[in-house]
């Protein structure tokens, strides 16, 4: 029997799929003040101790999508971690991941090790869209995101080299030992400032996961994390769908209006909408405009399908 659930972790995202005993997870995090309680309850309700999880897909490294990962891997046996495409420059990945792990050494070292071991398998089109296809028996997993341009990653490395050279008082050749030496003396603050200068918010490079039974295009699910769709991303999804619909769609960024507007009609190809958010969150997610737009989709007589456009809340109390 197959089962797919959005877990009730509050302001965050934790999705579990079980396909005839084959487990996968998409994101595992929350920003709830009681996040450990919610995350632990969800993890222990879904998995047996040391149960195998074949894949954990991480959309991006914002805390409400990643900070439960250590809890998950201590309880269950995570076999592979799939990250957004970071390119093949291990030094860049080292810096990039370090800046995003909130000084959590355990999380950083585990993720970086997984990156080194499992970063193969992506195809990059015109240095823009990175796609990774995984086939497991009768199930298809398509990961895709905007890749980090080489020009930005190179500029980031150059600026970090300059920062560390100026701080240490001599010209350095950047490597992990030099980076650690700098951090031990000066901390993370200026490194993170450089990261924000070059990359801004992580949402723009969120890795989406499109999954469905092999050769069955009537049961497509699309998980989006906090993805920011643009014409290239939309073209990729529309080309994949052709005349089919997305049966289960996770509304990007907890139902924020900005990301919703960027869907540019893709939402009209969706049948069921899932919105993850925490009760009383300071971002006022989800937007009432998004909810109204979803309701309107179901009432539009000009669409090519009949649907009530049902939407489902996913928060501390609803799954």
The single-letter DSSP state of residue 60 is: -
Give the pLDDT band of residue 227 (cuts 50, 70, 90).
Answer: very high
Question: Does residue 304 register a pLDDT over 70?
Answer: no
Rounded mean pLDDT, 281-285: 89
Question: Does residue 308 register a pLDDT over 80?
Answer: no
Q: Which distant-in-sequence residues (6+ apart) come within 8 Å of 76 by Cβ?
A: 23, 43, 47, 48, 49, 50, 51, 52, 53
Structure tokens at 171: 């010209």
Among 15-24, 53-62, 172-181, 300-309, the minimum mean pLDDT is found in 300-309
Rounded CA-CA distance 137/69 in Å is 26
Rounded mean pLDDT, 301-316: 75
Q: How deeply is 151 buried, as exposed, middle or buried, from its count of CB atoms within 10 A (0-12, 13-18, 19+)?
A: exposed
Among 24-28, 95-99, 225-229, 301-305, the minimum mean pLDDT is found in 301-305
pTM: 0.93
Instruction: With beta carbons less than 8 A apart as the criterion, state whether 319 and 6 touch.
Output: yes
Rounded CA-CA distance 31/316 in Å is 11
pLDDT tens digits, one per residue of 32-79: 766 678 888 899 999 999 999 999 999 998 889 998 999 999 999 999
List C-alpha distances in Å: 20 to 24, 25, 76. 11, 15, 18
Rounded mean pLDDT, 193-212: 87
Structure tokens at 152: 């930005």
Q: Across the chain, what does the average pLDDT equal?
A: 90
């Amino acid at each position: 029997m197959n089962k797919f659930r959005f877990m009730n972790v509050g302001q965050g995202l934790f999705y579990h799929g079980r396909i005839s005993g084959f487990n996968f997870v998409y994101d595992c995090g929350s920003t709830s003040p009681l996040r450990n309680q919610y995350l632990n309850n969800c993890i222990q309700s879904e998995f047996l101790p040391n149960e195998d999880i074949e894949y954990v897909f991480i959309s991006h490294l914002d805390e409400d999508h990643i900070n439960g990962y250590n809890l998950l891997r201590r309880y269950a046996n995570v076999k592979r971690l799939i990250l957004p495409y970071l390119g093949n420059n291990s030094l860049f990945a080292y810096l990039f991941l370090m800046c995003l792990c909130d000084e959590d050494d355990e999380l950083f070292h585990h993720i970086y090790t997984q990156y080194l071991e499992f970063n193969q398998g992506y195809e990059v089109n015109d240095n823009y869209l990175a796609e990774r296809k995984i086939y497991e028996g009768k199930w298809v997993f398509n990961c895709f995101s905007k890749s980090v341009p080489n020009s930005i990653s190179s500029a980031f490395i150059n600026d970090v080299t300059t920062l560390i050279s100026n701080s240490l008082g001599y010209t350095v050749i950047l490597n992990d030992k030099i980076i650690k030496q700098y951090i031990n003396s000066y901390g993370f603050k200026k490194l993170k400032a450089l990261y924000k200068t070059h990359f801004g918010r992580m949402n723009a490079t969120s890795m989406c996961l499109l999954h469905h039974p092999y050769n069955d295009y009537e049961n497509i699910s699309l998980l989006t994390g906090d993805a920011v769709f643009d014409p290239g991303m939309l073209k990729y999804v529309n080309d994949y769908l052709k005349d089919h619909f997305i049966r289960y769609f996770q509304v990007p960024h907890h139902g924020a209006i900005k990301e919703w507007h960027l869907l540019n009609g893709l939402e009209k190809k969706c049948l069921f909408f899932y919105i993850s958010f925490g009760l009383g969150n300071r971002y006022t997610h989800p937007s009432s405009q998004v909810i109204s737009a979803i309701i309107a989709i179901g009432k539009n007589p000009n669409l090519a399908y009949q649907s009530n456009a049902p939407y489902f809340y996913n928060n501390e109390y609803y799954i």
